[in-house]
Amino acid sequence: MRPRVGFLGTGWIGRHRMEALIAAGAVEAAAFVEPDDDAASATQAAAPGATRMPDVDTLLEAELDGLVIATPSAMHAPQAIAALERGMAVFCQKPLARNAEETGAVIEAARHADRLLAVDFSYRFTRAVEAIAPIVRSGELGHLFGAELVFHNAYGPDKAWFRNRALSGGGCVIDLGIHLVDLLLWMFDFPEVRTVESHLFAHGERLAPSPDAVEDYATVTLRLAGGAFARLDCSWNHHAGCDADIRFAVFGTEGSVAVENVGGSFYDFAAYRRTGTQARTLVDPLDDWGGRAAVAWAHRLARDRSFDRRCEEALAVAEVVDRIYRGE
């Protein structure tokens, strides 16, 4: 049986994920809430069978198996908790919440309701990342001592709410850096993060720890248990010389692996296994990956709607993001 699913927020990413779920035949798109009329018309065109509902409370009254949340980030936690308490499974955009405390509350609600909760850490599902992750975990790179994580976006977000900390939870770190933190912890099997040293900037000016302003540049060093150091740089409106500069490399004594965006693209990623001066290409960059995390959630929901402990990984990620903001 295809799960009957509702959609909360069908702006840019919410509509993309809805279309991917429909194209995969993974859900019945039953209902949606989208206050913006233009976005709602586009949603209705993409999902003619879905009923547009006036507000979240009405949607929560509907007989739904699951809810896909892609509203402004501050709404994620209260909306996810309300849905879980009504017995719906939830697939939520990253960040699951604005900080670790809120993230923990959502996970507790899922555990208490015994319902499936997943977060859209979409880059895990690129073929490029899927190609390097087993190599990192296999031990063939020898002793892992370094990682280089980069996500520069030459544009920055085009919606005002992203630049309001109360609505977004922060700037480029919680928007882009969070994917890099997730990939690092996930590939290294969620090690203890011993130290975090971070420097946040807005318009070139250094921000104090726990800033009210939203950062548009961050440079961070993380020291992991086991001795590896990771350097993480991310930004909005960066002079990158192209649309985006996205890189994820892990260095070991016997070689390295890297994922890099191709030609400044936000969507196309190459993966390499490197030894000395040699680099072997691992995957074809043409890969339609954006909806895969959502489809994986829907397939799991069709089989089993119960709590999946893997959502606790979002808390480990949120704790590191909190430490980056505190500068410790």
Give the binding site for ligand NAD (CB under 6 A): 8-9, 11-14, 33-36, 39, 56, 70-73, 75, 93-94, 120, 122, 159, 175
Q: How many Å apart are CA 194 and CA 228, to the nearest integer?
A: 10
Q: Which of 180, 196, 204 minimizes the C-alpha distance to 325?
A: 196
- For residue 78, the minimal CB distance to ligand NAD (Å) is 10
Nearest CB to ligand NAD, comparing residues 35 and 227: 35
Do residues 300 and 116 touch, judged by C-beta distance below 8 A? yes
- For residue 159, the minimal CB distance to ligand NAD (Å) is 4
Do residues 228 and 146 touch, judged by C-beta distance below 8 A? yes
- For residue 194, the minimal CB distance to ligand NAD (Å) is 28
Do residues 257 and 136 touch, judged by C-beta distance below 8 A? yes
Residue 38's Cβ-count burial label (10 Å; 0-12, 13-18, 19+) is: exposed
- For residue 293, the minimal CB distance to ligand NAD (Å) is 7
- For residue 44, the minimal CB distance to ligand NAD (Å) is 13
Do residues 57 and 36 touch, judged by C-beta distance below 8 A? no
Beta strands across the sheet bearing 4-8: 51-52, 28-33, 4-8, 66-69, 89-93, 117-120
Residue showing the smallest CB distance to ligand NAD in the complex = 11
Nearest CB to ligand NAD, comparing residues 94 and 273: 94
Nearest CB to ligand NAD, comparing residues 92 and 135: 92
- For residue 220, the minimal CB distance to ligand NAD (Å) is 19
- For residue 39, the minimal CB distance to ligand NAD (Å) is 4
Nearest CB to ligand NAD, comparing residues 70 and 131: 70
Q: Which of 124, 127, 47, 56 minimizes the C-alpha distance to 90?
A: 56
Helix, strand, coil percentages, rounded to 5, for the chain: 40, 30, 35
Nearest CB to ligand NAD, comparing residues 25 and 35: 35
Q: Which of 1, 5, 122, 9 minimizes the C-alpha distance to 55?
A: 9
Nearest CB to ligand NAD, comparing residues 13 and 302: 13
Nearest CB to ligand NAD, comparing residues 34 and 216: 34
Give DSSP secondary structure letters for 85-137: HTT-EEEEESSSSSSHHHHHHHHHHHHHHT--EEEE-GGGGSHHHHHHHHHHH
Q: How many Å apart are CA 241 and CA 73, to the nearest integer?
A: 29
Nearest CB to ligand NAD, comparing residues 43 and 198: 43
- For residue 208, the minimal CB distance to ligand NAD (Å) is 24
